[in-house]
Amino acid sequence: MKIDGPLACRIREQDFRDDIDADEVESTVIDVLGRCFRCFDLRKGREGASAEARFLTYFRSCLRRRFEDRLRDQESR
């Protein structure tokens, strides 16, 4: 089953194309989604935004942060 959806691929293509392997996207999405489901707080985020919009914003932020962490780890090796 492929779960490296359009959002994850678009973030990788736009900001991390040369730095994050396409093979890493699926495992990263799984890890980040697990964290997001555990830590998401509906009370935080843009007031008036739907729960779906708040979760998507949170997921996008966490995914970018994870890609940045992986890039930093690669550079430190």
Q: Is 15 helix (H, G, I), strand (E, B) or coil?
A: helix
pLDDT single digits (tens) 33-47: 999 999 999 999 899
pLDDT: which is higher, 62 or 2 = 62
How high is the pLDDT of residue 5? Answer: 64
Sorted by where each begins, the domain ranges of the chain are 6-76
Q: Is the pLDDT of residue 4 over 60?
A: no
Q: Produce one character per residue of 26-53: b if its CB has 16 or more CB atoms within 10 Å, e if not.
A: eebbeebeeebeeeeeeeebeeeeeeee
Nearest to 31 by CA among 10, 56, 55, 59: 59
**Residue labelled with tokens 């996207």:** 25
CA distance 38 to 20: 25
**The two structure tokens encoding residue 43:** 């009370």
